[in-house]
Structure 1
Amino acid sequence: MIQISPRRLRARRRPVMSGDRRPVRLALVVAALSLVVTGGVMAVPAPARAADYPSWEDVQAAQGDANAKAAEIVVVQGLLEQLQTDLDTKNADAVTKGTAYEEAQTAYDQAEFKLGQLQDQADAADAVAAASEERAGQLAAQLGRSSGGNDISSSLIADPGDAGQLLYRIGAMSKLTEQADGIYSQATQDRNTAQSLSDQADVAAAALKVLAAEAEDALAAANEAAQAAADAFDEQETNRYALEAQLAVLQSDLTTTKEEFEKGEAERKAAEAAAAAEAARLGSPTNGTPTGVVSSSGWTRPSGGNISSGFGMRVNPVTHAYILHAGTDLAAACGTPIFAATSGTVSYAGWYGGYGNFVLLDNGGGVTTGYGHQPNGGITVSVGQHVEVGQQIGHVGSTGNSTGCHLHFETRVGGTPQNPVDFMAQRGIRL
């Protein structure tokens, strides 16, 4: 098998990272033309999956429904504010119209009352005038009887001795007549004035009655508009209540969906962890150092699993070529974590021909460790990253020249491959 030193490897590597998903057949062609590596073991069943539960897309959809309903409520709330403003305006207009109607009705009532007073005055003046007319007529008749109906001059000639008495009566009658005429004239003037004021008051009352009727109509229209505004507000308020009820349901559904998603995720992770732990337990060697134990020299076992193929010359199970197997295969289960055997810096992480997805660590002092056959997407580190002993760097898989899930583990000094069993034993770790 062709070996490449870490320095040459860094110079020649391609920028293909762990996310590369080129078909396996391409890997086999590359392997056939370039690198031939280890054989493999039988595949171990994948960890059981958690029961079905809502996906993150379901959570997002539920959130979207709730957000959409909340947006509708915001729109309706804005409309309610506008309707409330309109209702307040119409109520204020109705109050103004009601005040105007009350003022118009009061003015009309006062005019009607004044009209009645003036009419009473006119009726009283008319009665006085009528009485004055009657009194004047009586005085005229009395004057006629006193003069005997004859000419006054003739009466004086015929009865000169009675002239003084006659002249006295004539003077008295004249005074009474003047008084009657004055009373009559004043009564007539009062009647005419009262009648004129009554007529004016009647016209004013009629006009005020028209204004009161118009004010009443305006009030009725304002009340109708205010009622329509109130009905519109109530309708939208009912709509808002309905939307809020729907939002409450959606939020409840969202909460339930999130809880089920989180519960499902927790169950899935727990199941994966349990499966990984079980795989590590089942794949752990019975006579080697347990995974996770760090020796005093700072080294640890890179993965579980018994040795399925050791270091040295062998027939490659894929290419059937007799070639050096430059590492040791640990038959850990698919998906089992791979840990850094010791601290170092990632000098390569990606596809590496027959090694499949491969991570190379520069551990310093010319020492390097390699971890091959990781699944697509299984590498958890990147070039240039520093890792500590026991830190997870990937997962066990079966890419490249492999017939089943296992870890191909290499140890090199100065670029020369060393037997990992002896190399690790010298550092306190039994493979």
Structure 2
Amino acid sequence: MSTSPSLSLRNRSRLVAAAVAVALAGSTLAVLAPVTSASAASYPSWSEVQKAKSSTSAQQAKVTEIKSLISTLKSEAAAKQKAAQAAGEAYQAAQNKYDEATLEQKTLQSQADDAEQTAAQSEEQAGQLAAQLGRASANDVTTDILTHPSDSGDLLYELGAMSKLSEQADGIYSQASQDRGTAQAQADKADKAKAALGDLADAAQSKMQQAQGAADAAQTAVDAQNDNESRLEAQLTALTTKQRGVEADYRKGVAAEKARQARIAAAAAKAAAKAAATSQGGTGGGTANSAGWVRPAGGFQTSGYGIRVDPYTHYTALHAGVDLAPACYAPIYAAHDGTVTFAGNGGGYGNEVILDNGGGISTAYGHIVDGGIMVANGQHVSAGQQIAKIGSTGWSTGCHLHFETRVNGAAVDPVPFMAARGISV
């Protein structure tokens, strides 16, 4: 979610002072913030402000009204942003639960497969022993008794050997039965875990959609504040002060602010270009390879996929992606063609973008800098297209991209996933 940068206090005073000059002189209002039809219906016009100055009571009432509107703008924006943060955290928790359950199910399935192989080997060994017992049956011992009645020592030896063989057979059959029971128990656990994944996937998807709705509502509230607060404060100043000769200062202030913003943008662009050109560990973007994939950012991998102690929360948890760290404000690229399915506050993911890349595959890009999301929900993007800028929002201890690859909504290790598509991360 992006927000417009705040003006400096000095420039802001120039803005409102100039607004007074413009209002008092009856000049055009085009230099002020644009007024949409919605805001025109909701907020006082300049003619209403001038009319209110005709009496002390009307003036005071209009001052109270404008102060209330400014307060409402701020509180609504703050409340919506807080709701977006909460919705993002709920989405993150649901996604983490799904990812961890998927990893556990895969582990259980692997254990079940190993147990099945062990059981099959035990049963094969038991079968081989049964065949051996069939060949050396008790009939051979009976024949020896009838044909060699005096060879008692040999007879006792054969009877003892048969007894030992029978004991061995009992042990092998018992082990085979135990191994088969273990295999079945592991298979049942894996099946139960797999059955639970569907509900977890649905919950994660639902929470993501709710988070997107909350992010959109927060952006709307912030936009309303940005569009109307300066105008309302200028009207308030017009009602409560008498200032003259400030229009020139206003224009200088606007020009200085534009120049400052331009310098900030140029510095960020320069830093991003330098990061893209000099980052070690691989560069991002560029032309997609034959499989249609690109590296999502430059920089070394600073943390891989797997269970770890989270450096932010200090709890052991699944790190469901890889971290790439070229530099703050460095570009983030779409790893593959896709459609934006999420662009907003992702809780611990910070500002996040998720792309549906088709075929059950999706990619996620987290910790984007405030104001650094460059795409919107529902937008189609191409592989290598810049979609955001690297930041350190959410549960982050430094500027980096948290990159995830998901299959049917569940995170998988991006290293082998991307390697299979010709990309090293």
With the length of structure 2 as denominator, give the TM-score of the two structures: 0.42
Greater relative contact order (Cα < 8 A, sep 6+): 1
With the length of structure 1 as denominator, give the TM-score of the two structures: 0.42
Please identify the structure whose Cα radius of gyration is greater.
1
